C-alpha cells in the first residue's frame, strides 16, 4: 500500500504522522477493494484518511466527503493502534458519526495492520 | 577523533595522545606536561556538546578510556568509578551485579562517560528529584597540575566515600571547571534504591504556559521521578528522518514526559491518579496522558524516549552536526525563555528543538535548544554560530546560565558575572595551575 499525502510529510500533524508511520511499517500487505474515507478527531488534532486500491492518502484536518467520523481522546485513538482496535468502540469511548460499514472496514484494516509483520 | 567533535567548534590537532591505565601513569604524564609547560587536555569519551576536549592549543590529549574500574558499596549506596566507564557499561554492570541500586541516566548515548557527565554538571533522568549530576558526587580523586594526588569528600578522612559533608567542600574546585584545574581519576557517585514498579506517561500540551503549569504542579507534588519534555520538533523528527518539518495548526507545542516509580502497583495507581487529577480542568490545553508503554508496543523505537541512556540518532541524521545551548535558570522565566528561544532558532532557519527538564523538585528549570546541522556546510556552520550567540545572550537576559559552555561563550558570561566571583575564579586557577597547562582556552581562563 502506498502512503501519500497532498502536502509534504513534514507538514502533517503528529496524529497524521503516527498513522503514516503505522502504515509505512506494517501496512504494506493491506488490500482495499472499495474506496472510502474516515475522519479522525483525536483530542485537538484531526486527520482524514482516504483508502483506495493500493493507496492510503493522509491529510491534516477533516476535509472532503468522509464516510464516517471517529471522535475521541488521543489516548483512546492510540489504544486502537496498540491493543485490540474493537475494544474502545465496544466500551463507548469513541463517538461515531456516519456510515458504520466504513467504520467496520477501517477497524478491520487496523486489526490487520496490528497483526501483520513488518 | 581528538581534533574535533560533533559541534560547530573549530577543530585543532593534538601533538600527542596518551592513554593511561592507572593513577600512577596519570601522575607521571601530568608531571612531564607541567615540567615542559605543555597543554594537557583530559578526554573521557569526547561526546560533550561544547567542544570541551578540542585541544585548542595542541599539546597532550589524555584519553582516559582505559581507566574503567568500578566499585559499588551497597551498604552506603554509592559507587566509585573511573572516567572510562560509560553509561552503557554502568547500567549493564549494575543490572547484573547490584540490581537493587540504580543511577541516574542521561538523554545521551550509552557510550558517554559517567564521570564526565557528573563533573560537567550534566542533567539526567533523576535530576528532577535530585538536581544536576554534580549533586550526586560524594568525593573525587584528582591529580593536580603539579602531580599531587588529592581526595575530596568523606574519603579524605574515612575509608568510605559516604558523603561530601562535613569537611570544607573542595569537590567544587573540579566541577564545571572543564578540566582546567586537574585530572579527575575517580569519582564517588551516589546510587539510589531501585523500586520494582515504574510507569511513564506522555502528555501533549498546546502552549508553553500549560506545559509550565503542569511542570510546576507535578514538581511540587514530590511524587514523580522525571518531569521533562521536548518541543513538537522532536516528535516530528522521530517520525521523519529527512526533509523539512513544519508545525501544523493543530499540532501540540510540547511533549511532556512524566515518570513515576513505586513499591507496589497501588502506589503507582495512586500517583497516576494524582497525575490525571491535575489535567482534569485543562482539557482545552492538554491531551490526556498517554501510556508510553502503549506507544512502545506500536512503535518499539519510541523506547528512545523512555529508556536511558539513549541514542537520539534521528537528530544526527540531518547532516551529522549537532550543537546546543543548554542552560539552567529560574522557574519564572521558563515560558518566556522557551517561546523566545524557539523564535530565535526559527529566525535563523532552524526548527525550534527544545529539551526541558524540571530540576530538583521544581527549584529550577532547564532550557536546552538543540541545533542539528550539516557539518560539511560552511555557510550553515556560520549560521549556527550566529544563532547560538543570539540565543545565549537571550538566555542570559532571562537569567538562564549555560552549562558545559564552549570556549567562545565563557567571555560572554563573564561580562555579566559578579566581579568578585571572577577574581576569585582567576585566583583559584592561578593557585592550582600557575603555568596554565590544564585544558587551556577553556572557560576563558587563559
Distance from CA of B129 to the nearest CA of A (A): 27
Q: What pLDDT does residue B427 have?
A: 97
Q: What pLDDT does residue B238 have?
A: 86
Q: What is the DSSP string of A69-89?
A: EEEE-HHHHHHHHHS-TTHHH
Q: Does A30 touch chain B (CB under 8 A)?
A: no
Q: Does A50 touch chain B (CB under 8 A)?
A: no
- Burial class of A28 by CB neighbour count within 10 A (0 to 12, 13 to 18, 19+): middle
Residues of chain B with C-beta less than 8 angstroms from the C-beta of A43? 204, 287-288
Backbone phi, psi, residue B294, to 5°: -65, -40
Q: Does A102 touch chain B (CB under 8 A)?
A: no
Q: Does A20 touch chain B (CB under 8 A)?
A: yes
Strands, E, within B52-207: which ranges? 60-63, 70-73, 78-81, 101-102, 137-143, 149-153, 183-190, 192-193, 197-205
Sign of torsion over alpha carbons B235, B238, B240, B243: positive
Q: Which of A17, A60, A78 sits opposite B236 (nearest CB)?
A: A17
Summarised one tens digit per residue, pLDDT across range B185-205 is: 999 999 999 999 999 999 999
The pLDDT of B147-159, averaged and rounded, is 96
> Which of A3, A13, A76, A117 should we substitute to test contact with B (largest number of B Cβ atoms within 10 Å)?
A13
Q: What pLDDT does residue B297 have?
A: 82
Mean pLDDT for all residues in chain B: 94
Q: What pLDDT does residue A31 have?
A: 84
Nearest CA in chain B to A21: B239
Among A4-8, B19-23, B118-122, B196-200, the range scoring the smallest mean pLDDT is: A4-8
Q: What pLDDT does residue A82 have?
A: 67
Q: What pLDDT does residue B436 have?
A: 96
Report how many Cβ contacts below 8 Å link chain A to chain B: 76
Summarised one tens digit per residue, pLDDT across range B331-386 is: 999 999 999 999 999 999 999 999 999 999 999 999 999 999 998 899 999 999 99
Q: What pLDDT does residue A86 have?
A: 77
Residues of chain B with C-beta less than 8 angstroms from the C-beta of A93? none
ipTM, 2 decimals?
Answer: 0.89
Q: What pLDDT does residue B176 have?
A: 97
Higher-confidence residue of B47 and B259: namely B259
Backbone phi, psi, residue B168, to 5°: -50, 130
Cis peptide before B309 (omega within 30 of 0): yes
Q: Does A43 touch chain B (CB under 8 A)?
A: yes
B144 Cα distance to chain centroid: 25
Summarised one tens digit per residue, pLDDT across range B391-446 is: 999 999 999 999 999 999 999 999 999 999 999 999 999 999 999 999 999 998 87
Query: pLDDT above 70 covers what percent of chain B?
Result: 100
d(CA B268, CA A46): 32
A82 and A53 in contact (C-beta within 8 Å)?
no
Q: Does A79 touch chain B (CB under 8 A)?
A: yes
Q: Is B248 close to A11, i.e. CB distance below 8 A?
A: yes
Q: What pLDDT does residue A116 have?
A: 74
Q: What pLDDT does residue B364 have?
A: 98
Q: What pLDDT does residue B62 have?
A: 98
Q: Reply yes or no on whether the pLDDT at B249 is more than 70.
A: yes
Supply B397's cell numbers.
537576559
Among B10-14, B74-78, B333-337, the range scoring the smallest mean pLDDT is: B10-14
Q: Which of B245, B289, B297 sits opposite A75 (nearest CB)?
A: B289
Q: Reply yes or no on whether the pLDDT at A118 is more than 60.
A: no
Q: Does A82 touch chain B (CB under 8 A)?
A: yes
d(CA B418, CA B399): 13
Q: Which of B206, B243, B299 sits opposite A10 (nearest CB)?
A: B243
d(CA B154, CA B163): 5
Q: Does B242 touch chain A (CB under 8 A)?
A: no
Summarised one tens digit per residue, pLDDT across range A48-105 is: 999 999 899 999 999 999 999 999 988 888 877 766 777 777 777 888 999 999 999 9
Q: What pLDDT does residue B163 have?
A: 96
Distance from CA of A22 to the nearest CA of B (A): 8
Q: Which of A9, A61, A78 sits opposite B290 (nearest CB)?
A: A78
Supply A87's cell numbers.
475494544
Q: Does B252 touch chain A (CB under 8 A)?
A: yes
Q: What pLDDT does residue A117 have?
A: 59
Q: Reply yes or no on whether the pLDDT at B20 is more than 80.
A: yes
Q: Reply yes or no on whether the pLDDT at B170 is more than 90.
A: yes
Q: What pLDDT does residue B283 have?
A: 83
Q: Which of B244, B251, B298 sits opposite A13 (nearest CB)?
A: B251
Residues of chain A with C-beta less than 8 angstroms from the C-beta of B291? 75
Beta bridge partners of B291: B201
Q: What pLDDT does residue B267 have?
A: 98
Q: What pLDDT does residue B166 have?
A: 96
B353 and B107 in contact (C-beta within 8 Å)?
no
Q: Is A73 close to B239, i.e. CB distance below 8 A?
A: no
Q: Which of B232, B248, B252 sits opposite A12 (nearest CB)?
A: B248
Contacts of B28 (CB under 8 A, 6+ apart): none
Q: pTM for this structure?
A: 0.93
Q: Which of B251, B297, B298 sits opposite A14 (nearest CB)?
A: B251
Q: Is B250 close to A45, i.e. CB distance below 8 A?
A: yes
Amino acid at each position: 500500500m502506498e502512503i501519500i499525502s497532498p502536502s509534504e510529510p513534514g507538514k502533517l500533524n503528529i496524529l497524521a504522522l503516527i498513522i503514516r508511520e503505522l502504515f509505512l511499517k506494517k501496512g504494506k500487505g493491506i488490500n482495499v477493494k472499495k474506496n472510502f474515507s474516515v475522519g479522525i478527531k483525536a483530542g485537538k488534532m484531526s486527520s482524514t484518511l482516504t483508502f483506495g486500491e493500493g493507496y492510503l492518502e493522509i491529510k491534516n484536518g477533516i476535509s472532503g466527503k468522509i464516510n464516517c467520523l471517529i471522535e475521541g481522546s488521543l489516548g483512546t485513538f492510540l489504544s486502537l493502534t496498540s491493543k485490540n482496535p474493537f475494544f474502545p468502540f465496544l466500551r463507548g469511548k469513541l463517538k461515531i458519526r456516519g456510515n458504520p460499514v466504513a467504520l467496520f472496514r477501517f477497524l478491520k484494516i487496523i486489526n490487520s495492520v496490528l497483526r501483520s509483520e513488518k | 577523533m581528538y581534533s574535533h567533535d560533533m559541534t560547530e567548534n573549530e577543530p585543532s590537532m593534538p601533538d600527542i595522545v596518551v592513554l593511561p591505565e592507572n593513577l600512577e601513569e596519570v601522575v607521571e604524564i601530568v608531571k612531564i606536561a607541567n615540567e615542559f609547560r605543555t597543554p594537557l587536555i583530559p578526554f573521557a569519551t569526547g561526546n560533550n556538546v561544547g567542544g570541551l576536549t578540542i585541544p585548542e592549543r595542541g599539546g597532550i590529549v589524555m584519553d582516559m578510556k582505559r581507566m574503567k574500574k568500578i566499585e559499588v558499596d551497597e551498604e552506603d549506596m554509592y559507587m566509585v568509578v573511573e572516567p572510562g566507564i560509560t553509561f552503557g557499561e554502568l547500567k549493564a554492570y549494575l543490572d547484573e551485579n547490584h540490581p537493587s541500586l540504580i543511577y541516574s541516566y542521561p538523554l545521551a548515548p550509552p557510550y558517554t562517560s559517567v564521570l564526565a557527565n557528573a563533573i560537567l554538571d550534566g542533567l539526567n533522568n533523576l535530576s528532577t528529584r535530585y538536581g544536576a549530576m554534580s549533586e550526586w558526587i560524594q568525593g573525587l580523586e584528582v591529580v593536580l597540575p603539579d602531580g599531587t594526588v588529592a581526595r575530596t569528600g568523606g574519603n579524605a578522612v574515612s575509608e568510605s566515600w559516604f558523603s561530601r559533608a562535613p569537611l570544607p567542600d573542595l569537590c567544587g574546585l573540579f566541577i564545571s571547571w572543564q578540566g582546567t584545574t586537574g585530572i579527575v581519576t575517580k569519582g564517588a557517585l551516589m546510587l539510589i534504591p531501585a523500586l520494582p514498579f515504574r510507569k511513564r506517561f506522555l502528555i501533549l500540551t498546546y502552549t508553553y504556559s500549560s506545559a509550565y503549569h503542569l511542570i510546576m504542579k507535578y514538581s511540587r507534588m514530590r511524587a514523580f521521578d522525571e518531569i521533562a519534555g521536548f518541543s513538537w520538533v522532536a516528535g516530528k523528527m522521530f517520525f521523519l528522518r529527512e526533509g523539512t518539518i513544519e508545525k501544523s495548526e493543530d499540532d501540540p507545542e510540547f511533549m511532556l514526559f512524566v515518570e513515576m516509580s513505586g513499591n507496589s502497583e497501588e502506589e503507582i495507581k495512586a500517583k497516576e491518579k494524582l497525575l490525571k487529577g491535575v489535567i482534569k480542568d485543562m482539557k482545552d490545553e492538554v491531551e490526556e496522558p498517554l501510556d508510553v508503554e502503549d506507544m512502545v508496543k506500536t512503535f518499539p523505537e519510541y523506547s528512545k524516549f523512555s529508556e536511558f541512556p539513549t541514542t537520539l540518532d534521528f537528530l544526527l541524521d540531518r547532516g551529522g552536526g549537532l550543537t546546543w545551548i543548554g542552560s539552567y535558570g529560574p522557574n519564572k522565566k521558563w515560558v518566556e525563555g522557551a517561546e523566545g528561544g524557539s523564535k530565535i532558532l526559527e529566525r535563523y532557519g532552524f526548527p525550534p528543538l527544545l529539551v526541558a527538564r524540571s530540576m530538583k523538585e521544581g527549584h529550577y528549570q532547564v532550557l536546552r535548544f538543540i541545533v542539528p546541522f550539516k557539518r560539511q556546510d560552511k555557510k550553515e556552520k556560520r549560521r549556527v554560530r550566529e544563532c547560538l550567540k543570539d540565543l545565549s545572550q537571550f538566555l542570559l537576559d532571562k537569567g538562564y546560565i549555560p552549562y558545559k559552555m564552549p570556549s567562545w561563550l565563557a567571555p560572554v558570561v563573564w561580562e555579566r558575572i559578579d566581579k568578585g566571583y571572577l577574581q576569585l575564579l582567576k585566583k583559584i586557577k592561578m593557585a592550582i595551575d600557575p603555568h596554565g597547562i590544564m585544558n587551556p582556552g577553556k572557560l576563558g581562563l587563559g
